Structure 1
Amino acid sequence: MNNPLVSVIVPVYNVAPYLEQCLDSIVNQTYRNLEIILVDDGSTDGSGAICDRYAEQDGRIRVVHKENGGLSSARNIALDMMQGEWVLFVDSDDWIELNTLELLFEQKDERSEIVEFGLNVVYSNNVECYINTPSLMSGRDALTMLVTKSLYMGTMCNKMFKVDAIRGLSFMEGRCHEDTPFIMELLYSMKGYYQYVALPLYHYRRRDGQITSGFTAKRLDLYHNFEDLMIKYEGTEFIKYIQTCYLYWAKSYFFEIFIQPFEFRKKNEALTLPYLEKARRMSFISVGRSQKFQWRLFQLMPRFYAYLVVYVQPVVKKLIGR
């Protein structure tokens, strides 16, 4: 099929100030063969009315209004509705370049089942651009990269997925941080390839108060999601990948907490301690010698390792001129 239908899924919840920019970037795509599914997750600020207005103006848009159930439940409803051959997820306070889909289809390898592209993280006072080297890899190779080193491989927003590859999968409901477990399951099972296109086409808005802004107890949902995955895949090779990602995020969270002021650090360390203790006993997949040493050191002496990285390593690098 030369002009496949693309389903664009947009969960919507109380984003009235940003929603029109998001929807304009989708309905005005230079690639026209779209179905656009807007799931209003119980908005109370007029976002639902904005969705309805856009649907009246564009026959490609379908709107679902539902009681508030969270991002995962909104996405799952849209997954059941979609009719496209490919699917793109856009958060309702973000936006994409107008030629995003056209460029992705121009550069997509015929063997690809996931096409990732670059993104701009938009803060209130600056923008950070994230672009990787163009690449094509198997699902298992991509899974290894995700669980050891690549944060944005675990997000839904900057990827186009082949629908046949994700059929049968769903998002864990009732918690935050559902993207990474979903993508891990997909990479473990997929038969096709994971492609990276070095174009910054997605604009990811970081707002004050979002769950990604600073450490909160909701961040612990990621651990619970991993633990559910470990139960589901007990006895399989996938377990070691899940444990590796669990350890990766335990280390990341520990560093984030370690540099906080003492009063916050003490509280957040107490919150994360049970999960850190689990991570210290977990196995991880084969990694390079240097990374293996660092991870083992973290498992044995997390505070000492964090002290070395945060305080000693910068001084050493400065002394040797690196």
Structure 2
Amino acid sequence: MVSILIPVYNAAEFLRQCLDSIVSQTYQELQVVIIDDGSTDDSLSICEEYATKHAYFEVYHQENIGVAETRNRLLDHVAGDYVLFIDADDWIDPQMVEYLETKARTFHADIVTCHAFIFENDKVENNVSAAVFPVQEEVWDRERIVREFLGPNAFMHVLWSKLFDAKFVRNARFVKEISHGEDSLFVWQLFQKVEKVVMTTRKLYHYRMSATSITHQSFSLKKMSLLVACERIYEDTVRFWPQYVDFARANLCLANMQLLISAAQCNYKNKEQIQKLQRDFRKNLTCLKRVNLVDCRLLRKAIFLSHGYFLYRIMLLLRRVTVTV
């Protein structure tokens, strides 16, 4: 049985599409566990409607405590042999569970990970034909897994593209003090325990880039917890995988870059925090250039921000005024 875990918070607009994609699965040995985290829209009533129609749906409600702790409570309900996390505003292909479960059993894999279609403003951002890039499938040992996670393979960091053997996740926990990057840290901690991962480039998940992504939200100190996650990954790398320290430092630099860009877009004005981000970015910039984790255009923007953040913010403001006029 596959346990599908879904944290829900004010997702009524897209929730039916998510749940319909689960009901339509070709693989039906399912346990679907949903926790409504204090939604103020119709999310809970929609979930209860599906639970009434489908006996394998379990719906729970709680006061709002945040996604990390909600996922921890979801893990307490796991009864299946495998675990799949889905975000409430996303959806999955009808064959996704069957495909991943078959690969897990065939290769005796601890984790099977696939790729996804990325949607922003309802437009597909990475819809490249399989005829151009045929589906690849590889089996990785633990060292290859670590190398891919610390390298440029962004899909290794995300939670929602992976089918986990339940024995690895039942006692695993998300760090509730980390509100950004907690899923990446969770995946990293599991990768330290597994022996075999199957990677497929087949796109089975549909990820909706929403207002909850780090580049869309208003900026606050909570976002800085992304650096805590990256620092913990760096510390593990120094201790257990010293041959990949440059990659771990590059990921720290990349996190600083993402936060700087997000802060500028949100007109964040805390000078002390910005200067810290700038210093940390410049400190690890050599590693980021050496391992080539980011495209040149984005890197040039980040380098400019690391020296002239407030000038860049003024430029953004003037551009918005010009567009408005």
Is the structural similarity TM-score above 0.5?
A: yes
Q: Give the whole-Å Cα distance in 1 for the aligned partners of 2:149 and 2:48.
A: 38
* Residue 119 of structure 2: aligned partner: 122
Q: Give the whole-Å Cα distance in 1 for the aligned partners of 2:102 and 2:228.
A: 39
70, 74, 78: which is aligned to 1:74?
A: 70
Count of residue correspondences: 291
179, 182, 198: which is aligned to 1:195?
A: 198
SS at match of 2:156: helix
Q: Give the whole-Å Cα distance in 2 for the aligned partners of 1:117 and 1:263.
A: 32
Give the % identical residues. Answer: 27
Shift of the alpha carbon at 1:255?
6.9
Written as runs of structure 1 = structure 2, the 5 A alignment for 1:251-266 is 251=254, 253-254=256-257, 257=260, 264=267
184, 204, 224: which is aligned to 1:180?
A: 184
Instruction: Tell me whether 1:291 sits opposite 2:295 in the alignment.
Output: no
Q: Is the 8 A contact 1:96 1:202 kept in 2?
A: yes
* Residue 163 of structure 1: aligned partner: 166
Q: Give the whole-Å Cα distance in 1 for the aligned partners of 2:140 and 2:270.
A: 38
Shift of the alpha carbon at 1:189?
1.9
More deviation in 18-27 or 221-230?
221-230
* Residue 141 of structure 1: aligned partner: 144
Shift of the alpha carbon at 1:259?
11
Q: Give the whole-Å Cα distance in 1 for the aligned partners of 2:230 and 2:262.
A: 25
Q: Give the whole-Å Cα distance in 1 for the aligned partners of 2:41 and 2:301.
A: 48
* Residue 31 of structure 1: aligned partner: 27
Opposite residue 64 of structure 2, the aligned amino acid is N
1:128-182 Cα offsets, whole Å, 9 max, x none, are: 2378732111122111211121222101011111111223211111422211111
More deviation in 63-72 or 247-256?
247-256
Opposite residue 47 of structure 2, the aligned amino acid is C
247, 250, 262: which is aligned to 1:247?
A: 250
Instruction: Sort the Cα spacing of 1:268 and 1:59 in 2 relative to 1 into closer, same or farther, 3 A.
Output: same
270, 273, 279: which is aligned to 1:271?
A: 273
Q: Give the whole-Å Cα distance in 2 for the aligned partners of 1:170 and 1:18.
A: 27
TM-score by length of 2: 0.76
SS at match of 2:192: helix
Shift of the alpha carbon at 1:188?
1.4
SS at match of 2:40: coil
SS at match of 2:107: coil
1:77-132 Cα offsets, whole Å, 9 max, x none, are: 01111011100000000000111112223444423111111100111152023787
Q: Is the 8 A contact 1:247 1:279 kept in 2?
A: no
Q: Give the whole-Å Cα distance in 2 for the aligned partners of 1:38 and 1:305.
A: 39
45, 56, 67: which is aligned to 1:49?
A: 45
Shift of the alpha carbon at 1:219?
3.4
SS at match of 2:79: coil
Q: Give the whole-Å Cα distance in 2 for the aligned partners of 1:243 and 1:185.
A: 19
Q: Is the 8 A contact 2:12 2:43 kept in 1?
A: yes
Instruction: Sort the Cα spacing of 1:272 and 1:34 in 2 relative to 1 into closer, same or farther, 3 A.
Output: farther
10, 17, 24: which is aligned to 2:13?
A: 17
Q: Give the whole-Å Cα distance in 1 for the aligned partners of 2:81 and 2:262.
A: 45
Q: Is the 8 A contact 1:25 1:96 kept in 2?
A: yes
Opposite residue 109 of structure 2, the aligned amino acid is S
Instruction: Sort the Cα spacing of 1:243 and 1:48 in 2 relative to 1 into closer, same or farther, 3 A.
Output: farther
Instruction: Sort the Cα spacing of 1:12 and 1:240 in 2 relative to 1 into closer, same or farther, 3 A.
Output: farther
* Residue 318 of structure 1: aligned partner: none
What root-mean-square deviation, in Å, do the aligned CA atoms of Structure 1 and Structure 2 show?
Answer: 3.6
Opposite residue 38 of structure 1, the aligned amino acid is I
Opposite residue 161 of structure 1, the aligned amino acid is F
Structure 2 residue ranges without an equivalent (≥5): 128-132, 294-298, 305-325
